[in-house]
Amino acid sequence: MPSRATTIPIAAGSPAIVAEPPTVDLTTTVGGVSLPNPVMCAAGTAGHGAELSAFVDLSRLGAVVVKSLSVDPWPGNPAPRVHPLSTGMINSVGLEGPGLAAWADAELPQLQRAGARVVVSIWGRSIEDYAEAAEALAVLVGRHDQPGAIVALEVNLSCPNLAGKSMFAHDAPAAAQVMAATAVAGLPRWAKLSPNTDRLVQVATACAEAGADAVTLTNTLLGLVIDIETRRPVLGGGGGGVSGPGMGPIAVRAVWDVARALPQLPIIGAGGVCDADSAVQLLMAGASAVQVGTATFADPRAPQRVLDDLTRWCHDHGVTSVAELCGASHR
């Protein structure tokens, strides 16, 4: 896109020609979904509804991914559920949620009023749980009072905080079965995967073959913090998921590896996104969009700030379309 030029008068002599920064085309397409820009809120970091709208115009973000929901309400894990780290934080929230129907009545209308493009994240303990959640979503999507509100489904295969449950995202055939079972939702489907495996490419391949339109890379790293005074884990759930800026290189590696192996599979990068640098790295590694997570706990304006930083970075580097960054490190 050509840059416009402005003539500004100067005190003496001829007018100076000053180039205005080029307009940046921020639009992106992720697994069948067109978005106005590539910056989203990550699941679990912006609540279930529109609470961030006190700080951020949700309609300006690419999308809002709501905290993972199941068909039934679930109380989550015992407190404390979050703990700060020098590199970010660790959580064991345990997927607390109101259940899909209550969410659709109470929270979805607020997200709609805020103009958000909503991505619903679902979780389950069994393939049947995921299938039921996907069926419930199909009903919601068909409701006349909520047309077009939900743009995609993110299937959370990688929560580290479900007691006694191993992750679907650590088992390629099981992950594929879940993805196949969620087709009934009738929405573009993104599989949210785990960094806690050396078989990420195999799992991503299995999800893609089972119908995933994109993969979100990645969820949190397994971790545990001990309070040395009490000699007990600081989190009520024991272990938890580590997130934040320290996750950046792990997420970049995950995106890089999957993009290299599966260049046709759209990727959403998540992990340590807190500024233009961390977002651009994920895009260059192969992501078409990024999710801001832990940064939002420290600053609820973080998603908007990352979007503004990214836009400014593109201006400053003569990048006229964010699409040209996607996968740039592989070319």
CB of 168 to ligand SIN, least distance (A): 11
CB of residue 145 vs ligand SIN: minimum separation in angstroms?
29
Nearer to ligand SIN, 160 or 245 (CB): 160
Closest approach of ligand SIN to the CB of residue 192, in Å: 7
Catalytic residue among 159, 207, 314, 326: 159
CB-nearer residue toward ligand SIN: 37 or 68:
68
Cβ-based nearer residue to ligand SIN, 167 or 208: 167
Comparing CB distances to ligand SIN, the nearer of 53 and 92 is 92
Residue 44 Cβ, how far from ligand SIN at the closest point, in Å? 5
Is 159 an annotated catalytic residue? Answer: yes
Nearest C-alpha neighbor of 117 from the set 125, 108, 126 = 108
Interface residue list for ligand SIN (CB under 6 A): 44, 68, 91-95, 156, 159-161, 219-220, 241
In the complex with ligand SIN, which residue's Cβ is closer, 171 or 309?
171
- Minimum distance from CB of 167 to ligand SIN (Å)? 9
Residues with a catalytic annotation lie at: 159
